[in-house]
């Protein structure tokens, strides 16, 4: 039945319908007839796009069936398609002739402290430096499992100046020890306390070995004060004297003032008010006691010795005997 027959039949079945109803039904019928053609045109591009990929897979499968024993490298393939139909791996940039592969490039960590294998360094562990002076100790550089390679010596000291002598040690061979000197100089303004100096030896067969040793550097006061007091006993009313000393260190030349710290507890005076500083010398002074005012028991008299920057104390113990 063609379209004209359908229209005639429709009009025969609906002779009383109006012209509007007739043309609306005719339009719907034509749209239904054209729908398959529209759907076919929408799906056609995707089918064409998949056809080359399908052809490539079939061609690769045919090649495998034709030569089952051939190696994978001899099987023909299409550009851009592997056996599984996936994308090929990204090509890698060829390595430069003579250069190591990237996977073998290793950057070793810089070792600040590498244990030496052919020498050792040991210094005397303590030293004392008076402000404004220098002090020197010995350091032993011992060789073992070595061939006498040159070793350099350096040092550093906290808040001070140091040096190694000699700065280079040569021919330190097996079972041989070379003595070097570590000298530390303390400034005149150095505070009393303990500091750290470090001696270092570098070199050896590898040229990168490093040995370190630490030294405690003591900065004592430039002077000290002390008094004799053991067994000091006096009768009440007797002439009582206690001898004391101020010992000056090397490089110390400051005058030192002397005072009684507790004059109200112990009636005492000093024969001098100050002593002149002389390096490496000891100056003496005397405590004079008034025993008439003391009861029979033990006492402690305290002395303060002071310079412009330092202060030291000492105590003198004595006893007043019963009458």
Q: Is the pLDDT of residue 280 over 70?
A: yes
- pLDDT score at 190: 87
Residues 186 and 235 in one domain: no
Q: Based on the domain organization, do 135 and 205 belong to the same domain?
A: yes
Q: Is 198:213 a contact under the CB 8 Å cutoff?
A: yes
The verdict on 231 and 203 lying in the same domain is no
Q: Is residue 35 part of a domain?
A: yes
Q: Residue 33 — pLDDT band, cuts 50, 70, 90?
A: low
What pTM was computed for the model? 0.50
- 52 inside domain: yes
pLDDT at 80: 45
pLDDT value at position 99?
36
Residue 147: inside a domain: yes
- 241 pLDDT band, cuts 50/70/90, is very high
CATH of the domain at 172: 2.60.40.10
**Per-residue pLDDT reduced to its tens digit, 61-90:** 454 454 444 444 444 444 444 444 444 554
pLDDT at 28 over 60: yes
Give yes or no: residues 34 and 47 share one domain: yes
Listed residues 19, 35, 64: the one ending a domain: 64
One domain, residues 248 and 208:
no
The residue with greater pLDDT, 124 or 222, is 124
Mean pLDDT estimate for the chain: 74
Q: Specify whether 193 is located in the same domain as 239.
A: no
pLDDT over 50 (residue 293):
yes
Stretch among 90-104, 197-211, 256-270 having the lowest mean pLDDT = 90-104
- In this prediction, residues 140-157 reach a mean pLDDT of 82
183 plus 236 within the same structural domain = no
Residue 105 lies in a domain: no
The domain total for the chain is: 3
Weakest mean pLDDT among 31-35, 95-99, 116-120 = 95-99
> Does 196 share its domain with 233?
no
pLDDT given at position 323: 73
Are both 232 and 248 inside the same structural domain? yes
Q: Is there a single domain that holds both residue 215 and residue 228? A: no
Q: How confident is the model at residue 252 (pLDDT cuts 50, 70, 90)?
A: confident
23 pLDDT tier (thresholds 50, 70, 90): low
**207 and 235 belong to one structural domain:** no
Does residue 100 form part of some domain? no
**Stretch 111-125: mean pLDDT:** 69
Section 132-147 average pLDDT: 84
Of residues 294 and 33, the one with the higher pLDDT is 294
CATH number at residue 306: 2.60.40.2310
Higher pLDDT, 23 or 278: 278
pLDDT for residue 271 = 95
pLDDT at 290 over 80: yes
Do the domain assignments include residue 80? no
138 falls within a domain: yes
The verdict on 215 and 235 lying in the same domain is no
Task: Identify the residue with better confidence: 134 or 20.
Answer: 134
Residue 178: band (very low, low, confident or very high) from pLDDT cuts 50, 70, 90: confident
> Of the residues 24, 39, 64, which one is the last residue of a structural domain?
64
Q: What percent of the chain stands above pLDDT 90?
A: 37
Last residue of a domain, one of 219, 235, 266: 219
Q: Is residue 102 part of a domain?
A: no
pLDDT of residue 8: 59
Domain containing 202 equals 119-219
Q: How confident is the model at residue 192 (pLDDT cuts 50, 70, 90)?
A: confident
């Amino acid at each position: 039945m063609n379209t004209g027959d359908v229209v005639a039949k429709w009009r025969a079945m609906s002779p009383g319908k109006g012209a509007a109803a007739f043309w609306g039904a005719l339009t719907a019928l034509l749209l239904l007839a054209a729908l398959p053609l529209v759907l076919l045109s929408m799906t056609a591009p995707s089918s064409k796009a998949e056809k080359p990929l399908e052809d490539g897979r079939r061609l690769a499968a045919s090649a495998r069936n034709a030569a089952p024993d051939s190696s994978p490298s001899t099987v023909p393939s299409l550009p851009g398609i592997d056996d599984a139909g996936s994308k090929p791996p990204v090509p890698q940039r060829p390595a430069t002739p003579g250069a190591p592969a990237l996977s073998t490039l290793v950057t070793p960590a810089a070792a600040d402290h590498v244990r030496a294998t052919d020498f050792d360094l040991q210094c005397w562990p303590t030293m004392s430096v008076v402000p404004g002076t220098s002090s020197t100790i010995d350091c032993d550089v011992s060789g073992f499992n070595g061939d006498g390679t040159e070793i350099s010596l350096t040092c550093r000291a906290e808040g001070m100046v140091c040096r190694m002598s000699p700065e280079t040690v040569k021919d330190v061979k097996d079972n041989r020890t070379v003595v070097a000197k570590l000298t530390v100089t303390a400034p005149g303004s150095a505070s009393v306390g303990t500091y750290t100096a470090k001696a270092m030896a570098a070199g050896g067969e590898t040229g990168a070995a490093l040995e370190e040793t630490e030294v405690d550097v003591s900065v004592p006061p430039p002077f000290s004060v002390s008094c004799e007091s053991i067994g000091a006993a006096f009768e009440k009313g007797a002439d009582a004297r206690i001898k004391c000393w101020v010992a000056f260190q090397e490089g110390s030349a400051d005058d030192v003032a002397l005072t009684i710290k507790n004059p109200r507890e112990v009636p005492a005076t000093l024969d001098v008010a100050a002593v002149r500083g002389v390096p490496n010398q000891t100056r003496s002074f005397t405590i004079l006691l008034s025993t008439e005012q003391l009861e029979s028991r033990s006492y402690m008299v305290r002395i303060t010795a002071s310079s412009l920057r330092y202060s030291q104390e000492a105590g003198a113990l004595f006893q007043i005997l019963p009458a």
